[in-house]
Structure 1
Amino acid sequence: MPILITFLSLAIELVLGYPARLFDAIGHPVTWFGRLISFLDRRLNRATDSDAHRRGWGVFALLVIVLVPAALALWLETLLWSIPLGWLITAILATSLLSQKSLAEHVEAVADALDSGGLDMGRIAVSRIVGRDPEKLDRAAVCRAAIESLAENFSDGVVAPAFWLGIGGLAGGVAYKAANTADSMIGHRTPRHEAFGWAAARFDDWINLPASRLTALLIVLAAFLVKGANAKGAWHAVRRDAKKHRSPNAGWPEAAMAGALGLALAGPRSYDGVMVEDALMGEGGRREVESADIRRALKLYRVADLLLIALFGIIVVIVIAA
């Protein structure tokens, strides 16, 4: 049943996304998790405590952030499965944990902004999807940032929640999304969150390990099907560069995307005025990446996403046949 739910959720969300009216009316699971995380951060993360105590409170906070929503989701899923068409309602609810449609829209908006409004508009558009300092980005850097975000968020926002939905049903998907949201909010190496967010950051690294590798494989396979993409280059880039990335997971999809498109991604980046050094993914050098490369990356992403949906579809057929 979890595999069927995941397949249906992927197919529905790809077409419908998360309706803006629904967001305006009730928000989104990420915003709900965010309120819980902010509350626990304010109440438990005290600057007067030692790092050891703050780390301990961070572990406790992570347990609350993950287990409470997961328990509610398990109760709801169990209730739904006992009624007619409950499996379909579950699949519809699970679409809120995926971001296939919105990811493509936000990344495409960067290319559109660059083409219609120039660099300033491109910086504004890319600032909505990346955390780096937009005013320091030239046109090529804006394009690289958009492509990197596409690759990494394909893993974190699509493949990983689908993976955990398939493993643990609605509860598994909710647990993943809550943990991933915690990492994005408190899993930073800042004075405030270095200790308190330690557990959130380490746990997020662990739960994204399988999805990041699967994402890289999907991009490599998609490169075989997309005209102008280099599947061999994608495979070599993953093998050579993925483990050099400062993140144990982001390097896998980014290296695959870089190799498939013949670009260089990652490298040094500025966040809140602080330069972060990182290895380059791919062999494209620092050539002038353009908005056309963003659109090439989107084609690759869409094919890789269809391969993901097909994979779950195949598994459903195999399970039913067995």
Structure 2
Amino acid sequence: MAEPFSLSLLGLVGAAVALDLVMGDPRGLPHPVVGLGAAIARLERAWNCGTPRARRLKGALMTALVVLGSYALAWGALALLARLHPWLGWLAEWWLLASCLAIKGLRDAARAVATPLAAGDLVAARRALARVVGRDTQRLDEAGITRGAVETVAENTVDGITAPLCFALLGGAPLALAYKAVNTLDSMVGYRSERYVDFGRASARLDDVANWLPARLTVLTLWLGGFVVGGLRTRGALVATRREAPRHPSPNAGWPEAMVANLLGVQLGGTNYYRGEVSERARLGSPHERLRGEHIDAAIRLMHGGWTGCLALLGALVLLKETLP
């Protein structure tokens, strides 16, 4: 396994990015995140019971077990393969790193919404959006569908791309997979519903900690990417984002969402419905433009600018480290 924050690891991470851009997550091939989800689901069914205190303790134990176990299994498997042959270890880490990224998957999911929306097929666009969001989509108009897709692209630029890149360069595939375990735990049990408010508390808190720096780093690279994309409202976007992001219930998700909203000149957030129940989210950005399908394509371009800038910035830090005595 490559040394953390080294040129060799930077090259391996770059190769993993290229693999993800070309292959994504091919159906039929095993995926570690699917295995993580199955393990979490089984533990949740067995352990999410008892008093609130007992649920909190067992939820914290599950969080530690899944995260540390993911790291240990990945490290052990890669070490064993590397002992058999160095190329086996390199290829396995390459594949594992690529599986922790979701560049192509996020792009394809957003385009699956944008394509029918551009053709005026709201039914197909709602169906595609329902695959990637938890909110009710049956009655959404073009603006509502667009808002859901743009919010998904903005938030998952951190969860699915820039945060895994940061952890990959800090600790290779084992640490990147441990981060994906944290993120998967939060997406499955990190809710404030009656079922998960106690059991998922540790998972939600750990996810908040893990994403704190990547979310804010991504805001900077999204803003810088806005200059490359062109035609966006870069002026004042940083100040507005800093003011608006804390309004979001998540300490991290509001940062990329607010930046994308301000760069596009649209307003995100507002009223969502979950199984018929109303959920009000903080409004981020100013509605200079009405949300329409073209904003999904613009969000995809910003996503690419954001992760590219993040990788470039991390690469520059690696080069700086290598040049220091």
> What band does the TM-score fall into relative to the shorter chain?
over 0.9
5 Å-filtered alignment, 1:38-49, equals 38-46=41-49, 49=50
Cα deviations by residue, 1:27-70 (Å, 9 ceiling, x for unpaired): x2221011111111111112xx1111111111111111111111
Task: Say whether 1:224 aligns with 2:227.
Answer: yes
After TM superposition, give the deviation of residue 321 of structure 1 in Å. 4.3
- Structure 2 Cα separation of the partners of residues 35 and 309 of structure 1: 31
Cα deviations by residue, 1:42-101 (Å, 9 ceiling, x for unpaired): 11112xx11111111111111111111111111123334443333343122210011011
After TM superposition, give the deviation of residue 19 of structure 1 in Å. 2.0
Determine if contact 1:80/1:90 at 8 Å carries over to the other structure: no
Cα deviations by residue, 1:273-322 (Å, 9 ceiling, x for unpaired): 2222221111126x531111111111121222222232343344444445
| 1:101 corresponds to | 104
| 2:65 corresponds to | 64
- Structure 2 Cα separation of the partners of residues 17 and 149 of structure 1: 18
- Structure 1 Cα separation of the partners of residues 106 and 246 of structure 2: 25
| 2:140 corresponds to | 137
| 1:159 corresponds to | 162
Cα deviations by residue, 1:154-201 (Å, 9 ceiling, x for unpaired): 001111111111222222111111111111111111111111111111
| 1:182 corresponds to | 185
Determine if contact 1:212/1:250 at 8 Å carries over to the other structure: yes
User: Secondary structure of 2:217's match?
Assistant: helix
Q: Give the counterpart of 1:268 among 268, 271, 274.
A: 271
Residues 193-202 or 287-296, more deviating: 287-296
Q: Give the counterpart of 1:18 among 6, 12, 25.
A: 25
- Structure 1 Cα separation of the partners of residues 208 and 182 of structure 2: 10
Residues 76-85 or 147-156, more deviating: 76-85
- Structure 2 Cα separation of the partners of residues 88 and 316 of structure 1: 22
| 2:204 corresponds to | 201
After TM superposition, give the deviation of residue 226 of structure 1 in Å. 1.2
Determine if contact 2:20/2:103 at 8 Å carries over to the other structure: yes
Determine if contact 1:100/1:157 at 8 Å carries over to the other structure: yes
The 3 A distance-change label for structure 1 pair 222 and 25 is: closer
Quick one: percent identity of the two aligned structures? Answer: 39
After TM superposition, give the deviation of residue 232 of structure 1 in Å. 2.0
- Structure 2 Cα separation of the partners of residues 315 and 19 of structure 1: 32
The TM-score with structure 2 as length reference comes to 0.91
Q: Give the counterpart of 1:302 among 290, 295, 304.
A: 304
User: Secondary structure of 1:267's match?
Assistant: strand
Determine if contact 2:166/2:314 at 8 Å carries over to the other structure: no
Residues 83-92 or 210-219, more deviating: 83-92
| 1:291 corresponds to | 293
The TM-score with structure 1 as length reference comes to 0.92
Task: Say whether 1:191 aligns with 2:198.
Answer: no
User: Secondary structure of 1:19's match?
Assistant: coil
| 1:215 corresponds to | 218
| 1:75 corresponds to | 76
- Structure 2 Cα separation of the partners of residues 268 and 181 of structure 1: 26
Aligned-pair Cα RMSD in Å: 1.8
Q: Give the counterpart of 1:148 among 151, 170, 180.
A: 151
Matching residue's letter, 1:170: A
User: Secondary structure of 1:280's match?
Assistant: strand
User: Secondary structure of 1:269's match?
Assistant: strand
Q: Which runs of 5+ in 2 are unaligned?
A: none
Determine if contact 2:267/2:285 at 8 Å carries over to the other structure: yes
| 1:278 corresponds to | 281
User: Secondary structure of 1:279's match?
Assistant: strand
Matching residue's letter, 1:132: R
Determine if contact 1:55/1:196 at 8 Å carries over to the other structure: yes
5 Å-filtered alignment, 1:84-123, equals 84-85=86-87, 86-123=89-126
User: Secondary structure of 2:273's match?
Assistant: strand
Determine if contact 1:58/1:197 at 8 Å carries over to the other structure: yes
